Structure 1
Amino acid sequence: MTAVWHGRVYGRGVGGPVALDARTGADMPTRPEAAPLLVNAYAGLILDNNQLSSYPSGG
């Protein structure tokens, strides 16, 4: 688990980043581009190879 925001749990798995429904644990319908460390209504912050990036939040 890397972050939680509005009913979604973000993390990294063997196949890459995942987003799960916080109540049921089911996979969310769209796969995230990355597993954010911090998320808000506007952006998610990603740390990859010591480089900090932001992605727009969606849905």
Structure 2
Amino acid sequence: MNNRLMSIEDLSDHLGVPVNTLYKWRTKGYGPTGRRVGKYVRYRPEDVDAWIEAQGTA
């Protein structure tokens, strides 16, 4: 299992969502939970997966 934290660029690639959209979501409290690591925001893959599951089906 890969426990590597995801950067916002990694998350953008994973979700197919522009980085700027992810920053907007973060300021509005939407999207996967991000954590500050120094001056960077990182995402745990399990948090991203849980957030995706919580979105339901399209």
TM-score range, shorter chain: under 0.3
Greater fraction helix: 2
Q: Higher relative contact order by CA 8 Å / sep ≥ 6: 1 or 2? A: 2
Greater fraction strand: 1
Tell me the TM-score normalised to structure 2 length.
0.23
